Amino acid sequence: MTINEQREEQRRLKQMELYRVRSSQTALRYLRRISEWKQHRSELEPFYDILRNVHSEEGSIALRYGMPTIGVHCVMLPLELINAAGAVPVRLCAGNETAFQIGDGIVPKDACPLVKSVIGEASVSCVVHTNECKLTVVPITCDCKRKMAGMLSEYKKVFAIQVPADPKSDDSIRNYKAELYRLKEALERSTGNEITADSLRRAIEKQHDMQYELTRFSELKKSCPSVITGTQSIMIMNSLGYDEITAWTEKLRILNDHLESDGTPAAKANRPRILLTGSPMIFPNIKIPMLIEENGGIVVGDETCSGERALSDPVSVSEPTLDGMMQALANRYLRPCSCPTFINSQKRIYRITRILNENKADGIIYHVLRGCLVYDYEYALIEETANKLQIPVIRLETDYSEEDIEQLRIRIEAFTEVIKFAKKRKEKGE
């Protein structure tokens, strides 16, 4: 080894150590903080344990379940296909601040923090749940993801999947189905397991069981006063990204039973009820929902793709053959998706309006990850919708650092005060 190579190796080892210590500290800090909330329930612990295990204890998901793992970078990828290959899907979208800082030195300054964090994690090459994935599947959606797929393949085995930009057309469904067949083959090669009509049917059924519990949970979330906080809910949804589906469904069933029998409010009924939407929020980057709920509001709806939006629509199979199920997967993962990387945004507006009504939200907080152009583009449309509905809306742009916490707190406090004032006026009939 030359002196330069030795220096480079020392720098890499130092960076690895720094990453391990800092990322573990951040994850534990957020987990401790939320566990100390008076709304804490012991039934939430199993979900937090998953996050603790992966983000602080370098736990192996593959070892925990004795199954291979497959990394996914988007919610438009059918988890059923991965489960049918006898593998656990692991969501690798990253929310890690330390990895974000490392990635900041590798990718262009204007790239979004999520991509910086993913590349940062890949470059330190000591993240167990990332490293152990037999394959990493990246959808080609926005420009950041496209370039990320290329960069990531320098570190690991990447399978890039083309996502059509117009989910409504039949051609798009046909093309996506062809992509899913390509993915099927790649999964079979990586896991050594054939995906059969039978294994796919069983995987779809498991996903349906999960969606049944998720629907119960979503109904409980609509209660006024709320029985669970939005931050707790975001943590629960994030934890699915690192868990085996049947095990996670059972945890959610226990929590649902508990919430149904013990409806202790998580907040007073008059707290400003917030719908959170915009760029995804990946643990430990949960500063926005935490700030909302520590400063007088309660998050009653989460329309981001890190929340229930990604999981709620069930696969509807009309033909129980392998091809029929592949068709059903292509339909399910493309048509209802309201990701802003698509050309048309009407579906998202419809979904947001529905959540606002059903969850009785008083205001919208629109989260934009700095550099995330697709979500930023859509803010004008959301603002227009909110104005029509006479609902206050605010846009918060941030990244994964904590430097702007005070500034965000001030803006969120002011926003919740505006809502409180508007509510009082409404009560008085003014």
Positions that interact with ligand SF4 (CB under 6 A): 74-76, 93, 112, 114-115, 141-142, 144-145, 279-280, 305, 339, 341, 369, 372, 374-375
Minimum distance from CB of 368 to ligand SF4 (Å)?
9
Q: Which is nearer to ligand SF4, 273 or 332 (CB)?
A: 332
Find the shortest distance in angstroms from Cβ 75 to ligand SF4.
5
- Which of 185, 190, 151 minimizes the C-alpha distance to 73? 151
In the complex, least distance from residue 342 CB atom to ligand SF4, rounded to whole angstroms:
9
At residue 84, what is the residue type? A
CB of 8 to ligand SF4, least distance (A): 29
| CB closer to ligand SF4 out of 259 and 305 | 305
Nearer to ligand SF4 by Cβ, of 115 and 393: the residue is 115
Min. distance of Cβ 48 from ligand SF4 in angstroms? Answer: 23
The continuous run of DSSP H or E covering 103 comes out as: helix 97-104
Q: How many CB atoms lie within 10 A of CB 2?
A: 7
- If the CB atoms of residues 233 and 306 are measured against ligand SF4, the closer one turns out to be 306
For residues 167 and 159, the answer to whether their CB atoms sit within 8 Å is no
Element (DSSP H or E) covering residue 32: helix 3-35
CA distance 186 to 206: 22
Q: Least distance from C-beta 60 to ligand SF4, angstroms?
A: 24
- Helices 230-240 & 245-261, crossing angle to 10 degrees? 160
Q: How far is the CB of 371 from ligand SF4 (least distance, A)?
A: 6
Cα 72 to Cα 138: distance, rounded to the nearest angstrom:
6
- 357 near 385, Cβ under 8 Å? no
CB half-sphere exposure, 295, CA atoms < 13 A: 22
- Nearer to ligand SF4 by C-beta: 163 or 266? 163
Encoded amino acid at 273, one letter: R
Amino acid identity, position 281: M
Both structure tokens of 96 = 């890690």
Q: Two tokens at 31?
A: 């987990």
Residue 68 or 280 having the CB closest to ligand SF4: 280
CA distance 71 to 367: 25
CB-nearer residue toward ligand SF4: 76 or 298: 76
